Structure 1
């Protein structure tokens, strides 16, 4: 289930125009985004507290590296990551 963007949400992140909120959790917010070329993507935004925690940043980097290696017709590909 998705919901509309809130007034406090950004309208763009990196190369993605944000369309809706897909969900929120302990790590942050996940948005539905679209590139200028029309490609849809889930855009995960980490809470600010996590970005200043070196241990968290290490885990995040490890998680994104492992996600990049997964190739399957049933798994959405990793398009990019930046802590």
Structure 2
């Protein structure tokens, strides 16, 4: 599960594109955070204005019953993951058209952006980051989930 990104909407937010939805469930979409193989992640706002990350599954994938079933199972499992170093699931509609997932928005640059902008991380920082990643992945795996898209662009510092 990807998601994440937090209260400071300045990290990697791109404008919405023509054809992007403006509302998903009760969440107003205000920008794009990224796009992956399964869908697009948007910066959204709750009705009270809190920032959230909204992942919407691609239309061509949403039409595949086996993918919908897998996504629904992952959403159910992810809702049970409550651990440090993971983005909490706020809401979801795996049966929606298209299916979507809302997580807490975590402030900070991605690992890719940090290294691109400032060079390699110091060894002590890399060790600490590795420990945090391991703790988050252990919590996810304990619930029967596999991340499937762990890469520097999805690691929020």
TM more than 0.5: yes
The structure that has the greater radius of gyration is: 2
Q: Which residue of 1 aligns with 2:101?
A: none
- Unpaired runs of at least 5, structure 1: none
TM-score, normalized by length of structure 2?
0.50
Cα deviation for residue 66 of structure 1 reads: 1.4
Q: Count matched residues.
A: 83
Q: Map 1:2-17; keep pairs closer than 5 Å.
A: 2-17=13-28
Q: Which structure has more helix as a fraction of its residues? A: 2
Q: Which residue of 1 aligns with 2:59?
A: 48
Runs of 4+ in structure 1 displaced over 6 angstroms? none
The CA distance in 1 between the partners of 2:84 and 2:30, in whole Å, is 25
* RMSD (Å) for aligned C-alpha atoms: 1.2
State the secondary structure of the residue aligned to 1:66: helix
- Unpaired runs of at least 5, structure 2: 1-11, 95-157
The CA distance in 2 between the partners of 1:51 and 1:27, in whole Å, is 9
